[in-house]
Amino acid sequence: KGNQHHVFTGVTLRMGSISQSFVSDTLVQFEKFTAQSIAEYVAAYNPLDKAGAYGIQDCLDEGGKQTGPLSMSIESGSYANVIGLPIEDLKRELAAF
């Protein structure tokens, strides 16, 4: 296996003087990348416009199927969080707010 990293997203809900905050954490596990898989990714996608220099949506679908040249998986947490906004957590927190 390769490296892993956490993606943290903080969200604050606010209405008037009432606010509620939460943090979502997703653990992404990478497989070891080859020079060829990196070259294929860089040729097909723009890694410089993404946090972490990769877009999970370029390589993995929501169901966990590999779709791109870099092999990775979500060990825990939300796919949507890695893309940018933890929708599932936001829905839950909005319902409680």
Q: Give the 3-state secondary structure of residue 55.
A: coil
- 68-72: average pLDDT: 94
Residues 6+ away with beta carbon under 8 Å from 5:
27, 28, 30, 52
Predicted pLDDT at 34: 94
Predicted pLDDT at 89: 97
Residues 6+ away with beta carbon under 8 Å from 30:
1, 2, 3, 4, 5, 70, 71, 72
Count how many domains the chain has: 1
Identify the domain containing residue 11 by its residue range: 4-96
> Residue 12 sits in a domain of what CATH number?
3.90.950.10
pTM beyond 0.85, yes or no: yes
Predicted pLDDT at 33: 94
Share of the chain above pLDDT 70, in %: 100
CA proximity to 72, closest of 28, 14, 39: 28
pLDDT of 52 over the 90 cut? no
